[in-house]
Amino acid sequence: MSAAASIGPGANNASITPKRGYSREQWESKLDSVKVSKANLNALVMNYLIIEGYQSAALKFAQEANISSSVALDSIDDRMQIRAAIHAGAIQEAIERINDLNPELLDTNPELHFSLLRLQLIELIRKCTASPNGDIQPVLSFATTHLASRAQKNPVFLTDLERTMALLCFPQDSLAPQLAELMDPSLRRQVAARVNEAILEAQGVMREAKMRGLVRLWGWAENALRQEKVDFPSLDLKNIA
């Protein structure tokens, strides 16, 4: 009986299915066969440098590659100073810089404006609770003057304000998780990212660098190949996106 004839209905066909795969040399050869114009690569790099805030690198790259940008490269430094101020907890400084850069930005984005004011309130709470005898009057005054009227008109704002004011009622070292997250520095980074995106959008620039989207697309393609049981040299994307 031939080998072909010995394969019956109950045979395990998977055992004779050759595994598809690429060696590193084959994989790199396929990647090299994809042609991307120098102009597109330059535009991709410039897009990343502008959105991520690398002003000096963007200026130098624009000169060396002889390309122009629709965004004033000087504005990159303004965005980075705003981001640095928020990361440092200097929210009033950040708001003033935002208004200098774009006086209409916060007026036309009440959610973002409220987030900044609430973050400023949190910084005041952080300061007054740093010592046992901290003065809470600046907190109460700021909440009344800048946040109360906004919260009355928006139930989401009201919930956020009530949760923030609850920080005054509990020791900072034993806060419930939903309160502790308000005191975590990561909230500063989240608000700073939203501010950066809003500024970029107002300038007619996409909120996220195209390169990050391409990295996610690459990751999706790799997962699809793995599901198809294709063996290939994968790219470490952990610290890229």
pLDDT of 237: 65
pLDDT digits (tens, 9 = 90+) for 203-237: 887 777 778 888 888 888 888 888 888 888 887 76
Sign of the alpha-carbon dihedral angle for 65, 71, 76, 78: positive
Establish if 172 belongs to a structural domain.
yes
* Closest among 208, 207, 205, 199 to 109, alpha carbons compared: 199
The verdict on residue 196 lying in a domain is yes
Residue 44 lies in a domain: no
Count of structural domains within the chain = 1
Span between the terminal Cα atoms of the chain, in Å = 56
Taking 80 as the threshold, does the pLDDT of residue 118 lie above it?
Answer: yes
Q: What is the 3-state secondary structure (H, E, C) of 3-47?
A: CCCCCCCCCCHHHHCCCCECCHHHHHHHHHCCCCCHHHHHHHHHH
Q: Does the residue 186 lie in any domain?
A: yes
Residue 53 lies in a domain: no
Domain that holds residue 88: 76-202
pLDDT band at 240 (very low <50, low <70, confident <90, very high): low
For residue 220, tell me if it sits in a domain: no
174 within some domain = yes
Q: Would you state the pLDDT for residue 131?
A: 82
Judged against a pLDDT cut of 70, whether residue 105 lies above it is answered with yes
Which range, of 52-56, 138-142, 174-178, averages the lowest pLDDT?
A: 52-56
- Closest alpha carbon to 112 in 173, 197, 20, 184: 197
Residue 64 domain flag: no
Q: Confidence band (pLDDT; 50, 70, 90) for 3?
A: very low
